[in-house]
Every structure is written in structure tokens, then in C-alpha cells.
Amino acid sequence: MNIVCYGLQWGDEGKGKVTTYLSREFDYVVRYSGGSNAGHTVNYGEFKLVHHLVPSFDIRGNTKAYIANGVVVDLDVLIKEIEEIKKIGFDVYDRINISSLTHIVLPVHKMLDEKLEIAKGEKAVGTTKRGIGPAYADKVHRIGLRLVDLFDKETALEKLKFISKMYKNLYGIEWDDYEILFENFEKLSKLIVPPLEMKEEFKNVNVLFEGTQGVLLDIDMGSYPYVTGSYCNTTGVESGLGFPIKIDKRIGVFKAYVTRVGEGPFPTELFGEEAEKIRIAGREFGATTGRPRRCGWLDLPILRYAIETSGCDEMIMTKADILSGLEKVKVGIRYLSNGRKFEIPNDISMIDKVTVEYIEFNGWKNLEDDNFAKFVDFIERETGLKIAYISTGEKIDDIRKV
Ligand code: GDP
């Protein structure tokens, strides 16, 4: 049984926690896109982990992890993360594999990320400046460095010098300190495998694919240009792996409200005190950057769009407990644009020009409250999908099957 667990909004839906919970039933958790710009916080109770590159598998169990070639890897970040987990008392080194075709995020990519954001001025996307976009761009420019290149130091040095030359000439960025890269590679080299070896391995095991960011940040189907640099939609699984695989179920995770980091349209956004209340209660500050997240009401048109775009089979709702105690909870049910009503945007680029029609619910004291049950029923009816699990709190086991 192969499942994809991914975000139906603009990321930060609580996928890391949910994936970790589900991972116990799987042999592998696989990251298929993104890089260290991801920041999944997982609260184990006795300790907390923030996963940037290590897939969200339960480190206390036997599940293994694979970082596929759709991911761009910052070796330094990956090593530090593995070391952090070791300090807590779990050696996951032997449980992780990385595709040999994975592209490496280099210091020049981070420098360029910063420069690009500054040059864009008011049009800045609000990236995490982790070098992810430039690393993907170099992959497409065909000047990227892959893990497989580092097995032959002489060839790797030649490639690195060429990259340095390109960056100096094109962007005025200077970098020639390559040694740390080789040192990091030494530490990770035993984990590197060719993708076809994993294809063979995946024939007889259960795999859980872990989405990063969310469908609305997908490079094609998201709210371009305010998106991430990769195919974080479910469609990215096969391209990220590099070979076809049968997917049995696509489980989309959504928050009972909406948050967004960085710039870009956000039809149900709240401001002032109302937004601040949710931000503080939900601790809506970026796990990678610490930036305050923009907060707003649940937006059904955009949720329906994400469901359609990703082929969602069932959903998991998170963070409804954060809304507990509010007198009223609103949900955006349709958009109005040029005198027309839209249950679902026909094109996501329309969402910066819409007004939103809301429905108001009586708030709930806790998640046992009838008012909450009415909210859940309404979302299931409006989306035509079952909410299979409801996450009820921060920790891994704070979740109930519906
Ligand atoms: P991800 O990137 O999608 O994994 O999400 P983040 O890591 O940015 O944010 C998830 C945060 O919310 C983590 O600190 C989780 O422990 C927490 N969380 C997840 N689900 C719930 C929930 O249902 N209720 C509460 N209160 N916190 C949750």
C-alpha cells in the first residue's frame, strides 16, 4: 500500500506530525520534493524535532527513510539534523538513503537567493533564502552538482570551478571554498543509492510519500509567482522518484483555518486583533524562518481547488482546537468576481481579485462539542470528501480516527 500525505493549503498544515503518526504503519517514508526550506515540527511529548530534510518518520520505530532526487539537499543541514536526532538518543543514520541523482544546494545558491529577493524589491516572493529556487534553476540550466558527481573528486572540482566562474560572471558572486562539501560528502556517502535500487526495494514494501509545502505552493498549480520552486503537489511523486509507482491513496492535510508565509494573494486573510488571536494561539510563526504567518478563515473554494488539483481521496483536519473558545467561526464558501459566483476558482490566478462570501458557525468549547461536529459535517458535505482523521493537539498521538 502506497500513500501520499500532503498539504492542501499554503504549507504548515501540520503534515509533519500527521506523517510521523502514520509512518508507523509503513516501511518507508519518502521525501519527493523541496529542500531545507521545509520545516515540519513534530512534538513527541518528551522532545520536539524540526525536520528540514530528514523525512518525518517516527524515529523511535523501525521505519526507514528515502530522500528522492526531486529534493535538493543542503548537506550541512542534513548532517546537523541527523546529529541533533543522535543527541536525543536515536541513531537514524542507517535508516536513511538518498538518491545519487539528488542535486546539492551550494553556498552560491543561498547568496543568489538573497540577491534575487533584494533585486525584486516590492515584487519579492518572501522566500526562506535557503537557496532552493537557485538550486532548482541550476538543475534546469544543467550546471547543477549532484551527489553522484562527488564520488570522483577531480571531476567534482572541475564542475565546482565552472559553477564558481558562472556565478562570478553572471551575478558577481564569489565562492571557492569547496573543502567542506567533500567533508560532508564523506559523512553521507554510505547513504547514497542509485534510484533503480530503490525501485526494486519499493516493489514489496509499503511506502508513505511525504509532501512538503502545499498544493497552493506548487510551481505550476500554485499561486504563481508566489510559490516554491518544486512540484510539491501529489503529481511530484513520480518525477521526484524518477520512476513510476502505483499510489493507492492520496491523503490531504488541511488546517481548520488558513495560514500563509511570505507574499501572495490570500482571499480570507484576517488582520489586526482577530488575526493576532489565532496567530498566538496556533503559534503561527515559521519553523524555518520564525516569521509571523498570515492567518485567515478556512477558504472552501481554494480547498476544493487543491482537492481537484491533487486527486485527493480523503482528508485530515488539524488545529481545530486552536479555534476552541471563539464565539463565532467563519468559513469562506464562494467567491464573487465580476458579478459571477465561483464555488471553485477555474484558474488560481483569479484569487487576488475576488470577494468572499462567508458562512458563520457558532464556536465550539472543545472538539467534543456538537458545534464542532456541525462544522466537520459541513466541510465533508461541501467538499464531497471524508475527513478520515482529526488532529486534536500538538503531540503525535493527539489524533483521532473518524
Ligand atoms: P508542517 O510543515 O505542515 O508539518 O507544519 P508545521 O510544522 O509548520 O506546523 C505544525 C505545528 O502545529 C507543529 O508544532 C505541530 O505540533 C502543531 N500541530 C499539528 N497539528 C496540530 C493540532 O491539531 N493542534 C495543535 N494545537 N497543534 C497542532
Span 57-98, pLDDT tens digits:
999 999 999 999 999 999 999 999 999 999 999 999 999 999
Say how far apart CA 228 and CA 220 lie, in whole Å: 10
Pocket residue to mutate for ligand 1, from 46, 366, 394, 398, most atoms within 8 A of Cβ:
394
In the structure grid, which three cell numbers stand for residue 388, read together?
478520515
Hey, whose CA ends up nearest to atom 16 of ligand 1? 394
Contacts of 336 (CB under 8 A, 6+ apart): 342, 354, 355, 356, 357
Say how far apart CA 59 and CA 363 lie, in whole Å: 37
- Domain ranges across the chain: 2-100+192-248, 103-186, 251-401
What pLDDT score was predicted for residue 250?
Answer: 98
* C-alpha 181 to ligand 1 mean position (Å): 33
What pLDDT score was predicted for residue 5?
Answer: 98
- Kindly state if the Cβ of 321 falls inside 6 Å of ligand 1: yes
Residue 126 has pLDDT above 80, yes or no: no
Cβ neighbours, 10 Å, residue 151: 12
Contacts of 172 (CB under 8 A, 6+ apart): none
Helix or strand or coil: residue 152?
coil
Long-range contacts (CB closer than 8 Å, 24 or more residues apart) made by 269-272: 269/294, 269/295, 269/296, 270/295, 270/296, 270/297
Say how far apart CA 381 and CA 396 lie, in whole Å: 28
What confidence tier does 169 reach under pLDDT thresholds 50, 70, 90?
very high
Distance of CA 383 to the CA centre of its chain: 22
**Cβ proximity of 378 and 331 under 8 Å:** yes
Which class is 251-401 in CATH?
Answer: alpha beta
Tell the CATH topology of 103-186: Adenylosuccinate Synthetase, subunit A; domain 2 (1.10.300)
What confidence tier does 208 reach under pLDDT thresholds 50, 70, 90?
very high
Mean pLDDT of the chain: 95
What confidence tier does 7 reach under pLDDT thresholds 50, 70, 90?
very high
What confidence tier does 187 reach under pLDDT thresholds 50, 70, 90?
very high
Q: What is the DSSP letter of 137?
A: H
**Cβ proximity of 386 and 374 under 8 Å:** no
What confidence tier does 337 reach under pLDDT thresholds 50, 70, 90?
very high
Pairwise pLDDT comparison (288 vs 328), residue with the higher score: 328
pTM, whole model, 2 decimals?
A: 0.96
Percent of the chain with pLDDT over 90: 93
Distance of CA 283 to the CA centre of its chain: 18
- Kindly state if the Cβ of 12 falls inside 6 Å of ligand 1: yes
Residue 402 has pLDDT above 80, yes or no: yes
- Rounded to the nearest 10°, the torsion over CA 335, 127, 41, 277 is -50
What pLDDT score was predicted for residue 289?
Answer: 74
Mean pLDDT of the region 342-353:
94
Say how far apart CA 236 and CA 188 lie, in whole Å: 25
Whose cell is 506548487? That residue is 218
* C-alpha 205 to ligand 1 mean position (Å): 28
- Kindly state if the Cβ of 16 falls inside 6 Å of ligand 1: yes
* C-alpha 12 to ligand 1 mean position (Å): 7
Residues that are catalytic: 12, 40
Q: Which CATH superfamily is domain 2-100+192-248 in?
A: Adenylosuccinate Synthetase, subunit A, domain 1 (3.40.440.10)
What pLDDT score was predicted for residue 221?
Answer: 97
Say how far apart CA 99 and CA 243 lie, in whole Å: 12
What pLDDT score was predicted for residue 262?
Answer: 86
Hey, whose CA ends up nearest to atom 18 of ligand 1? 394
- The phi, psi pair for 324, rounded to 5°, reads -55, 135
What pLDDT score was predicted for residue 161?
Answer: 97
Mean pLDDT of the region 43-49:
95
First-to-final CA distance of the chain: 20
109-118 pLDDT, tens digit each: 999 999 998 8
